[in-house]
Amino acid sequence: MGNASDTSAVFASTISKEHDILMGSLYSVFCVLSLMGNCILLLVAYHKRTTLKPAEFFIINLSISDLGMTLSLFPLAIPSALTHRWLFGEITCQLYAMCGVLFGLCSLTNLTALSLVCCLKVCFPSHGNKFSSSHARLLVVGVWCYASVFAVGPLAQWGHYSPEPYGTACCIDWHAPNHELSALSYIVCLFVFCYALPCTVIFLSYTFILLTVRGSRQAVQQHVSPPQTKAANAHALIVKLSVAVCFGFLGAWTPYAVVAMWAAFGDSTRVPPDAFAFAAVFAKSSTIYNPMVYLLCKPNFRECLYRDTSMLRQRIYRASPQLEPKERLGSTSQRNKDMNLSTRFSNGQQESYGACLQCTDTTAPCHVDAPQRTACILTGSTYREVTVCQLSDKPQAEFL
């Protein structure tokens, strides 16, 4: 902040102030919902980490990429939108754009890998049953490497990062293909390998799954044993939720992809900045779909969340300062009860005051064959131990 680039026209907003305030407000809501949802989902996944299925590793990775986008983009986009200009300079603009591309492509590639895994397990179970957690981890690493290639490309002069057409955020320079060949090749590769190909794979995977499930439904109901039916139902649920997340993500990013391709391969001067602005709002809303779908609709995630919430509520209840008066009242009542109780012997038996009524203060101590029994006399918060024979005939007077 404070350098010359901050005052340049490219960092000034090109949309109305009302639209900027609306964007900032929506980003604030998305930020809160994404932080809460993805953090809760990761916490639930951590608690059930020993029972995670291989396909659920992609759910966790999707939450990590959504959380990364939330933490890297929204803290910069919100104040810039509310102040009607980009506030953080050229270098931060480049890093902002790189993080947006990295986490966005990671999410899309992750969903593509998830659709392939679901297709493998449902359509080719002999091979899908061999897919283990180690395979899932390896594939997750590959997802990040794939996304990193396209995210780092503009920093290595393959394509360019620049301010968005609406001015208060940064992304890929969609106007560069009109006058630069390397930028054109980057945009073409980005469109083919990071949008068209993943969308095609996702669509074909879930189409094959649908056809396989429809063709084998009757056989599953008639010839499959209950444990196998239970496993099939679990796979079917994961597939349904994965479809919901995939199409929610694609629905969020498709408007931005359409506007970007319009600017890159059409007349960029005819693309209104408001179109880019509202397409960007839809794209950033993708960070809240994954936790909402899985926390609300997946039974084992929901049960684990309910259990964790109950434990947290119990801890808060125990540690709440409002409970201290009740606890003090309870301890006071217990102390009063102890003071009103009759004297108890050190061996735990209750005293019978007629046991040694012949003993008085002036008489000699009682001599019995059995070992002497002692009693604890409670007075206030202190007590003293005496032999039974030293007790008075009317012990009530000593205690009341």
Domain segments of the chain as ranges: 4-316, 339-399
* Closest to 176 (Cα-Cα) out of 168, 166, 165: 165
The pLDDT tens digits for 65-95 are: 999 999 999 999 999 999 999 999 899 999 9
Q: Give the dihedral sign, CA 136/137/143/145.
A: negative
Length of the chain, in residues? 400
Q: At which residue do the structure tokens 């930028």 appear?
A: 183
Share of the chain above pLDDT 70, in %: 69
What angle do helix axes 56-83 and 133-152 make, rounded to 10 degrees?
Answer: 30
- How many angstroms separate the CA atoms of 293 and 248, rounded? 10
Q: In this structure, what token pair is assigned to residue 37?
A: 């949802």
| pLDDT higher at 244 or 378 | 244
Contact 118, 205 (CB under 8 A): yes
State the number of CA atoms in the 13 A half-sphere of 160 facing the CB: 17
Helix, strand, coil tally for the chain in percent (to 5): 75, 5, 20
- How many angstroms separate the CA atoms of 153 and 133, rounded? 31
pLDDT at 103 over 90: yes
pLDDT at 192: 93
Beta strand pairing call for 170-172 and 344-345: unpaired
Across 171-192, average pLDDT: 87
Q: Which CATH architecture has domain 4-316?
A: Up-down Bundle (1.20)
Residue 295 pLDDT class (50, 70, 90 cuts): confident
Q: Give the dihedral sign, CA 66/49/231/109.
A: positive
pLDDT at 203 over 70: yes
Q: Best-predicted range by mean pLDDT among 53-57, 224-228, 298-302?
A: 53-57
Please state which of the ranges 56-70, 218-232, 295-309 shows the lowest mean pLDDT: 218-232
* Closest to 30 (Cα-Cα) out of 247, 264, 252, 286: 286
Q: Give the dihedral sign, CA 41/46/48/54.
A: positive
Task: Give the global pTM.
Answer: 0.72
* Closest to 248 (Cα-Cα) out of 278, 291, 211: 291
Across 231-256, average pLDDT: 78
Q: Tally DSSP H helices, then E strands, for the chain.
A: 13, 5
Question: Which of helix, strand or coil describes residue 376?
Answer: strand
Please state which of the ranges 13-27, 201-215, 264-278, 331-345 shows the lowest mean pLDDT: 331-345
DSSP state of 15: S
DSSP state of 171: E
User: Chain-centre distance of CA 269, in angstroms?
Assistant: 41
